Amino acid sequence: MNRNHASRLALALPVALATLFFAPLARADTNLFSTAMERYGWWAALPAAFVVGLGTAATPCVYPMIGITVSVFGARRETRGRAMMLSTAFVHGLAALFVPLGLVAALSGRVAGSLAGSAAVQIFEAILMFVMALNMFGLFEVSLPASVQNRLAAIGGLGLKGAFAIGFATGPIAAPCATAGLVGILDYVFRQKDVASGSLFLYAYSLGLGLPFWLVGTLSLGLPKPGVWMDRVKSVFGIGLMVLGFYYLRHLVPLLANPPTPLAKAWFFVALLIGGVAMGAVHLSFKEGTRFERARKVVGTLAAALGAVWFVAYEPPAPTIAWATNLDTALVQARAEHRPVLVDFGAAWCVACEELMHRTFSEAAVRGEARRFVAVKVDATDPTPAIEALQTRYQVRGLPTVLLINSDGREVSRVTEFVPPARMLELMHSVD
């Protein structure tokens, strides 16, 4: 085994062992951190927070960003030690954002991620993705002015400070997918008011979230010499960034999540993606070729990105529960009819909320069992003072949060992440 393979194995093995060890602790209706804290205490909760962060790195908000570190760190042609330092600075930039914001969110009792789900932030994130995509396509190079570079280099801060800043700026991009994983940590801080331990747990979470970035940044050196192949790889990353930008806008531009009905077929999305690539989305260049070839590149790139985002974001209409929208009225009705209550706190920007709606609450058995309940949906996409008051009353500090309340008005179960239909059905059966 050569040195590169050995180093990869040495870094990957602890992560795999940690994942295997903590996987049995995770019940479908609870957060992994909460389960570890409840069963084994502080010593198990710390690595559990790390594993939860690592899982967040595989979500749609974060995973497409990982490859960008190849160009940010790997292309610098630094030594392995220097690349490791840059990658470490990047990860601590992530932590510098998540730790204080997590503490503020927990101590204030606010729903984490609501700011990240606002229209202004989603537009900003989409623009950021599009700008970075254009950089990948070679239309311009992102760099500081020469005078600023010289001044920072003179004090030895250009590389590390820049990597730290990029990590800090990456945090908001991960926030919409981080909410479900952070619920357990935020709940612990809120209940215990333990800022020191909470900071440490959030730091461990940030390290888990940043580990894939660190691995890519540290181990991506020693690539073959630049050439046409690199431009094509960068084009692939550019298309991925455009898809991510469109994905952030899907709630603001309905066409991005709901294509015209005649076109809403999976085979069409795949054909559009393949057709865009064949037209020139990858193999043609904006820097070379005729005007016609550049136009093909533009059309092919847009077609490929649109086909990909439709394939990822489109959810065909599915039957669902008949939800009420006024919780107080529903509680009065439930008491009068002596029925249990199902309350779903969700938001359009919450990925796990969408999964619950399309994969769990649409299941025939779940819909049938829900007829016993008075079902209420609380939409916290743009929370009003009344919605915030409900979140405070029911101690909702992350989305999704599904409450199952029995006919006596007592909360029996609480779901704070996606659960499959079978588990939801099991929880509903336990409520009388």
Tens digits of per-residue pLDDT, 20-41? 343 333 333 345 676 677 667 7
Question: Nearest 5°: CA angle at 142, between 282 and 174?
Answer: 80
pLDDT for 375 beyond 90: yes
For 377-429, write each residue's pLDDT tens digit.
999 887 788 998 998 899 887 788 999 999 999 999 999 878 889 999 999 99
Domains in the chain: boundaries: 3-124+139-223, 230-313, 327-429
Q: How far apart are CA 288 and CA 3, in angstroms?
A: 39
Residue with tokens 């939860």: 52
Place of tokens 């580990």: 211
Tell me the per-residue pLDDT of 53-110, one tens digit each, with 9 for 90 and over.
887 776 656 766 676 654 554 434 567 777 788 888 888 888 888 888 777 766 665 5
pLDDT of residue 344: 96
Asked whether the predicted pLDDT for residue 203 surpasses 70, the reply is yes
**Using CA atoms, how far apart are residues 26 and 417, in angstroms rounded to an integer?**
11
Q: Note the pLDDT of residue 155.
A: 38
pLDDT at 235 over 80: yes
CATH class of 327-429: alpha beta
Q: Give the highest mean pLDDT range of 28-42, 52-66, 122-136, 362-376.
A: 362-376
CA distance 134 to 132: 5
For residues 153 and 362, the model is more confident at: 362
For the entire predicted model, the pTM comes to 0.57
For residue 213, what are its two tokens?
Answer: 């970035």
| 49 or 104, higher pLDDT | 49
Which element (helix H / strand E) includes 374?
strand 374-379
